[in-house]
Structure 1
Amino acid sequence: MNVEFLGTGGYHPDAHRHTTCVLLPDRGLCIDAGSAFFRAPERLAAHGVTELDLVLTHAHLDHVMGLTFPLAHIERGTLTAVRIHGRREKLDAVREHLFACDLFPVLPPIYSWHPLPEKAAGTLPVADGLLHFREQVHPGGSLGLRFETGGKRFVFCTDTAPAPETAAFAADADLFVHECNFPDGWEDLATRTGHSTLSPVLDLARHARAQRTLLVHVSPDAADPADPVGLGEAHDPPPGAAVAVDGLRVTL
């Protein structure tokens, strides 16, 4: 399983990071379509893949704006089908608002919309594997995801406050990816916006016994883009903990 981090920032893109988009190019599977989604078609083409299953964790703009980007690749035929999976109300919101005529008048004809089952947690067979999803704590809701294939386990949890049940969901993950929008000391803002600070995320990774932990959805307003959440100052970080950067590729 190859995991490529096309966008690792949150809220808005900056000179260092685009917003959330993670691609498994050899599987034709993508999580979220933030501003980094413009990078996905070329990465898929490099693997000879023209169809994509795209899973939306939620419909906030920094996670869906990229859906308006790939028209040129559609015209060239390098992208022939995009199956978009998510909560029904989120898919409806994207179609009604993002593709409203006054905002963006062209709904790509290769897009198809696939609502997930209406339950708090479930499993979707997709991309030659199983995608498990569960509700998370975030304004408007979001989904935590676990993709399993070939004996490997990849867990992706963004736009959420730290929750004890996440450790069980991510247990023994080969790769545990969790948002860390703020460093320690910003707990009040994190609580008000439904995001995470560093120490609770590292605690989750330890309890999950993750082989490797990567932090994403970091704030574009961080003083130090190289270490936006203060990981370098953390006491006893879990094995393989790092802040993900755009362009990072991981093989499991």
Structure 2
Amino acid sequence: MRELVVLGTASQVPTRSRNHNGYFLRWDGEGLLLDPGEGTQRQMIHAGVASSRVTRICLTHVHGDHCFGLPGVLSRMAVDGVEHPVHLHYPASGEAVVRALVGVAGGGVDLRLHPHGSAGEIADGLDVVPLHHRIETYGYRLREPDGRTLLPERLAAAGLSGPAVGELQRRGRVGAVRLDDVSVPRPGQRFAFVMDTAPCAGAEELAEGADLLVAGSTFADDDADLAADYRHLTAGQAGALAGGAGAGRLVLTHFSSRYPDVAHLADQARARAGEAAVVAAADLDRFPLPRRRTREAGGR
């Protein structure tokens, strides 16, 4: 199962209806907790996300609204008797903050610390790319390998069925029939997480071809000067990011408390998002990842 559970959607200041931001991504056997702000432990209870489901915790940066929920989550995992290793990924420059937060939690979890200081793959299929914020910040991308979709009519025409099909998939060829002859490319699914940042090449790299793109939309386009000062995206910039990258769905979040209603932010993003579906997230929303796309040979 692959699904994004939104635990909170506020930015620096929570509101009556929006908790500090936090996100849980179910990805097959992995459970990634992204940017757990204050109150994340309680939001997980409301969302029905058991602490035992968390296998990785990913921090984009160490501003409080993105990490101050970490001690509570770790404490809950200890109380729940979570036995599997939990991997914590974070920018290397935030080491002192992370160790202080982990120290407050008091232990009891097999926590593995993984600081990173440059772009690259930090776990199987999980990449980080630098963003442009006021402190060292990274976005995350989770991807599966590209594959191929078998076409039944081509298999039948080639006279292949049963065990021969399995052999074809393993070896890439059975007799004169190649795997490419009876299949089309299938892009692997991609999830991208682009939080606090001004527009930058790193955000574009992360968003490229994402089936599901989560992006901060802290300010309305009318407040572009504020967005530039704080190095955040406006709604329109988030939409342009999705549209330029060919993303399938854009989930807007990390809203400033100055906007009690964010419908106009979704409209501003939608106007620049091209074919991407746009939604302004609310706390406890769920977004299943779409079915994998099949690409015809020679097509996009």
Structure 2: distance between partners of 1:88 and 1:109: 23
Q: 1:11 corresponds to which residue? A: 12
Identity over the aligned pairs, expressed in percent? 27
Contact 2:235-2:269 within 8 A present in 1 as well: no
Structure 1: distance between partners of 2:269 and 2:215: 18
Q: 2:131 aligns with which of 136, 140, 156?
A: 136
Q: 2:56 aligns with which of 53, 56, 61?
A: 53
Q: 1:112 corresponds to which residue? A: 111
Unaligned stretches of 5+ residues in structure 1 = none
1:229 partnered with 2:265 = yes
Shift of 1:114: 2.0
Contact 1:214-1:242 within 8 A present in 2 as well: yes
Structure 2: distance between partners of 1:184 and 1:210: 21
Contact 1:130-1:149 within 8 A present in 2 as well: yes
Shift of 1:228: 6.2
Q: Which secondary structure does the structure 2 equivalent of 1:192 belong to? A: helix
**Bigger Rg, which one:** 2
1:191 partnered with 2:228 = yes
Q: 1:82 corresponds to which residue? A: 86
Structure 2: distance between partners of 1:199 and 1:232: 5
| Larger CA deviation: 52-61 vs 29-38 | 29-38
May I ask how many residue pairs the two structures share in their alignment?
240
Residues 1-252 of structure 1 correspond to what in structure 2 (within 5 A)? 1-25=2-26, 27-38=30-41, 39-40=43-44, 43-45=48-50, 49-70=52-73, 71-77=75-81, 81-96=85-100, 98=101, 105-110=104-109, 112-119=111-118, 121-125=119-123, 129-149=124-144, 151-224=188-261, 226-227=262-263, 229=265, 231=267, 235=271, 237-238=273-274, 239-252=276-289
- Compute the TM-score of the two structures, normalised by the length of structure 2: 0.71
Structure 2: distance between partners of 1:4 and 1:233: 21
Change (3 A) 1:7 1:99: same
Contact 2:221-2:268 within 8 A present in 1 as well: no
- Compute the TM-score of the two structures, normalised by the length of structure 1: 0.84
Unaligned stretches of 5+ residues in structure 2 = 146-187, 290-300
Q: What amino acid sits opposite 1:29 in the alignment? A: L
Contact 1:214-1:244 within 8 A present in 2 as well: yes
Q: Which protein is richer in helix relative to its size?
A: 2
Instruction: Give the root-mean-square deviation of aligned CA atoms.
Output: 2.6
Structure 1: distance between partners of 2:285 and 2:93: 32
Q: Which secondary structure does the structure 1 equivalent of 2:40 belong to? A: helix
